A = this chain, B = another copy of it.
Amino acid sequence: MFYIVGERINTSRKKVQEAVVNKDSAYIQGDIKKQQAAGADFIDVNAGARIGYEKADMEWLLTVIQEVVTIPLCLDSPDPEVLEMAYGIVKDSPMINSISLEKERYDAMVPFLKEKDCSVVALCMDDSGMPESSQDVIERAGRLVKGLEGIGVRRESIYIDPLIQPVSTNTTKGIMAMDAVREIMSKFPGVHTICGLSNISYGLPQRRIINRTFLALLMCAGLDAAIIDPIDDKIMAVLKTTEMLMGNDEYCSNYLKSVRAGQIVS
């Protein structure tokens, strides 16, 4: 199964920030319903854009979202205090986005994650910066898996993010991510891999075709989760077509259902 984390509820998006400022719960709840209907498995909630208001904005968003949401949330914050508050509000076991190997962030997140019932996005970032090679990603993934399992997080709850870097700065960055995903999925059975896609196309025109084609290639390499906009019909069409071609759509039934719903157009 491929897990879709819907990325739309983020106060860095203009309409979401306006809704938060104006306490427009109808807008937020409408967006949640759309993401659910489109097939999201988690809804990411990020309230980080208004400096000084993250905790209050997150609390308001979660309270409003809880009234309509039927799937788990992905609590997106680097601040354990915000996450503790958020964890207390949500009903379903959430995904936490994210921990990394940066010492300060790692040390701050560990006490929060200990004995919590949640899954966690783990970024292959450390204090030396972004990974330089697929071997580098794999080594960092190993440290994350070991560290998280050491504090009681089950392997099946770990979503490793290899960190996608722009192909415009170095043509090997696409292959590097594919190789890393393939190796992580084979070396740490049970672990998930996840990523956002948009960094791959940074600096290039017509970015959406790059992002969705890269999603297909990463799925071929074993990626089993992505943070995307489930309302984007074109990326969802590629996702569902790829799932079918990878043998994960019995009788092609999800594909056919999406075609009948007008969501997949040649």
Residues on A lying within 8 angstroms of B by beta carbon are 167-168, 171-172, 174-175, 178, 200, 204-210, 213-214, 216-217, 220-221, 234, 237-238, 241-242, 244-252, 255-256, 259, 264-266
Contact = CB atoms under 8 A, between A and B. Distances in A.
Q: Which 10 A-B pairs have the closest CB atoms?
A: A208-B266, A174-B245, A206-B266, A213-B241, A220-B220, A175-B247, A171-B247, A217-B220, A209-B266, A205-B259
B210 A246 contact: no
Contacts of A259: 205-206
A18 to B, nearest CB: 26
Given A167-B245, A172-B247, A213-B216, 5 more contacts: A167-B244, A216-B220, A217-B217, A220-B220, A220-B221
B242 A217 contact: yes
Nearest to A241: B213
A175 to B, nearest CB: 5
B241 A209 contact: yes
Contact of A246 (B174, B206, B250): B174
A250 to B, nearest CB: 6
Contacts of A207: 266
Given A216-B216, A216-B217, A245-B213, A252 B200 contact: no
